[in-house]
Chain A
Amino acid sequence: MTNGAAALALPLAKVGEVGESFFHHRTSETLPCQAQSSHLFCFDWAKENIDSFATPTQQHLELVLFSIFAGFVVAMALALLAHRRRWLQAPLLAITGVIYTVPSIAFFFLLLPVTGLGRDTVIIALSAYTLQIIYRNAIAGLANVPAAAKDAARGMGLTETQILWRVELPLATPEIVAGLRVATVSTVALATFAVFVNAGGLGVKIYGGGNLTFPTSIIIAGGIAMLMAGAFHMALVGIERYATPWRRAAAA
């Protein structure tokens, strides 16, 4: 697959020209509105082809869910580790921060020799991106737990583990969920790049057509991605509200 990596650099640079050689051969599709390229949105085409968005949408959703799940588990493990061993906090923040700065496409290609084309590469890269945000928020949330509550908990005979599960984590929930929310929304957007390592997703309908001058498919796919991000956002806001009834009570 190493030569594949080299070949992949091309469609990024001149994606319009190399449509034929791209992974998804979709040139057979007729583009009814092509005659007038000024058309921003072609309803006829949309009506005819809307079914073809189902599979990419499902793939996209799966990529996001797997990536977020993996990222959350790893980031929380790191956060809890750093919570117990304070000296780890700064180095872990630096490491996850460096990962966060790697350009996403470059990350995919760096992983290609190891994990090859396909889903694994995408999930590893996308979950790695979530680490920084989730880790940082979890650390902040745990640090914001009132010292008096912890002192009282210890003084009343809660063990360290009980303090973590019954006091610290519940009180850090708002920050943790906020981190998860930001991470999820950005992952929905980043997952459109999955198409470049042959892992499907809505990117297929954005970059995959080989014709970036035909905007209808891009608008639909982009719209679905935005709706998906919005739905995740709302769901997580709902979960946070449900999980933290005391915050509403305090605000009332």
Chain B
Amino acid sequence: MPEPKVTEQSSSPAASSVRYENATKRYGGSAEPAVEGLSLEVPAGEVCVLVGPSGCGKTTAMRLVNRTVELTEGDVKIGEESVRERDPARLRREIGYVIQQVGLFPHRTIAENIATVPSLLGWKKERIRARADELLELIGLEAELAGRYPAQLSGGQQQRVGVARALAADPQVMLMDEPFGAIDPINRERLQNEFLRLQAEIRKTILFVTHDIDEAIKMGDRIAVMRKGGKVAQYATPAELLMAPADEFVEDFVGADRALKRLALMRVADIDLWEAPLAHVGQATAEVRAKLEGAEVPYPLLVDSERRPLGWLSQRDLAAETVPAQPDSPLGPLLDRDDVMRDALADLLQGEAQYAAVTDHGGRIAGVLSVEIISEFLGSPQAKREEHGAGERPR
């Protein structure tokens, strides 16, 4: 069962709620407002994804927060303070800003890029350097990259630096406009996962804009589905959105594969895994064959003395006297208990495997996941119960 999310923000006190109060943006010469009467609150430390088709005003809505787009009517409050009261440049220095094209300064080194806002705030040199080192470590880049220029980094590395630069002065709020939109699918998934891990640590209040509903479901604590004219069609948790779309527009936007999308809300650990008969190197095959009788998984899994999986044993392996050190079949996809279920299914399909070993944090075998388990889960009454019971997405 998905566990309710941990909500205390003790790890980072520097997060404020963001509240839209009837916020409206009208551009001169345009009859339709870009954003109309937007009212929603993002609690401190949560990720709110603004999602919708292009031209729905999601980016405009996000930009109202740091006044890169000015309000026509209404208000946006960070904590209790209205952004209207603030000097735009000073306000922006307190808000992290990440955009799709990253926008690193090509003529500044990585360290200098990260130091942008701290320099504007007049931090001392040593403090800036220490902060840059700390952030490089946080985003998993080697310290030696600090002196490089952006053009010397890969796209994924650049986007990580973009995130580090936005975090440099420990902002209360982060605005992220399709931050992973320009990254190839494989690296995008990696960056998303990294960012979720990072966010679990830093607990910023984040407004995240995307047009990709799958990304929204994966990244958001709450999702605001927007429609043209900057109106919110539904503001809900990902689970609520998938189970009870407010209207036809949301249902269409969320897509027909809602059941499949629910897998994005689950971890492998949330489901009952199968048990495979375990075999050790040198063990008599007769013993192993005996275990196969009535086992959930019809193949024995070879594990080492620490119960770490090594590979699958084939009929040929079992024909020998003892279990060989080199199993006939490679291990195939190896999953972690914390993997998102949708990714796990993708790994299974991609590996053209029926079964995948699932390990715990120590790399020890925790069970076996199969396509069959997942399809059974999606169709089972248990899944239906889950639909109504789950309020929050698992973390």
CA distance A245 to B112 in the complex (A): 14
CA distance A147 to B102 in the complex (A): 11
A171 CB contacts on chain B under 8 angstroms? 105-107
CB atoms of A146 and B99 under 8 A apart: no
CB atoms of B90 and A157 under 8 A apart: yes
Taking the nearest CB of chain A, how far is it from the CB of B331, in angstroms? 41
Taking the nearest CB of chain A, how far is it from the CB of B152, in angstroms? 6
Q: Is B68 an interface residue (CB 8 A)?
A: yes
Taking the nearest CB of chain B, how far is it from the CB of A166, in angstroms? 8
Q: Is B263 an interface residue (CB 8 A)?
A: no
CA distance A244 to B101 in the complex (A): 22
CB atoms of B89 and A250 under 8 A apart: no
Given known A155-B175, A156-B120, A157-B90, contact A246–B99 (CB-CB < 8 A): no
B92 CB contacts on chain A under 8 angstroms? 154-157
Given known A156-B93, A156-B120, A158-B89, contact A151–B103 (CB-CB < 8 A): yes
Residue from A147, A150, A158, A246 with most neighbouring chain B CB atoms (10 Å): A246
CB atoms of A157 and B117 under 8 A apart: yes
CA distance A163 to B103 in the complex (A): 13
Q: Is A152 an interface residue (CB 8 A)?
A: yes
Given known A155-B66, A155-B68, A158-B89, contact A148–B106 (CB-CB < 8 A): no
CB atoms of A246 and B149 under 8 A apart: yes
Taking the nearest CB of chain B, how far is it from the CB of A149, in angstroms? 5
CA distance A249 to B151 in the complex (A): 8
Given known A249-B151, A250-B151, contact A155–B99 (CB-CB < 8 A): yes
CB-contacts of A121-153 with B (<8 A): 146-153
Q: Is B358 an interface residue (CB 8 A)?
A: no
Q: Is A76 an interface residue (CB 8 A)?
A: no
A interface residues, tally (CB under 8 Å): 24
CB atoms of A155 and B89 under 8 A apart: no
Taking the nearest CB of chain B, how far is it from the CB of A96, in angstroms? 28
Given known A250-B151, A250-B152, contact A152–B89 (CB-CB < 8 A): no
B interface residues, tally (CB under 8 Å): 29
CA distance A167 to B107 in the complex (A): 8
Residue from B97, B106, B152 with most neighbouring chain A CB atoms (10 Å): B106
CB atoms of A146 and B103 under 8 A apart: yes
Q: Is B116 an interface residue (CB 8 A)?
A: yes
Q: Is A101 an interface residue (CB 8 A)?
A: no
Q: Is A170 an interface residue (CB 8 A)?
A: yes
CB atoms of B120 and A155 under 8 A apart: no
A155 CB contacts on chain B under 8 angstroms? 66, 68, 92, 97, 99, 103, 175
CA distance A125 to B314 in the complex (A): 90
Q: What residue of chain B has the Cβ atom nearest to residue A170's Cβ? A: B107
Q: Is A159 an interface residue (CB 8 A)?
A: yes
CB atoms of B103 and A149 under 8 A apart: yes
A sample of 11 inter-chain contacts (CB < 8 A) reads A148-B99, A149-B103, A149-B104, A150-B103, A153-B105, A155-B66, A155-B92, A156-B165, A157-B88, A246-B106, A250-B152
User: Which 7 A/B pairs are nearest by Cβ-Cβ distance?
Assistant: A152-B103, A250-B151, A148-B101, A155-B97, A157-B92, A148-B103, A157-B93
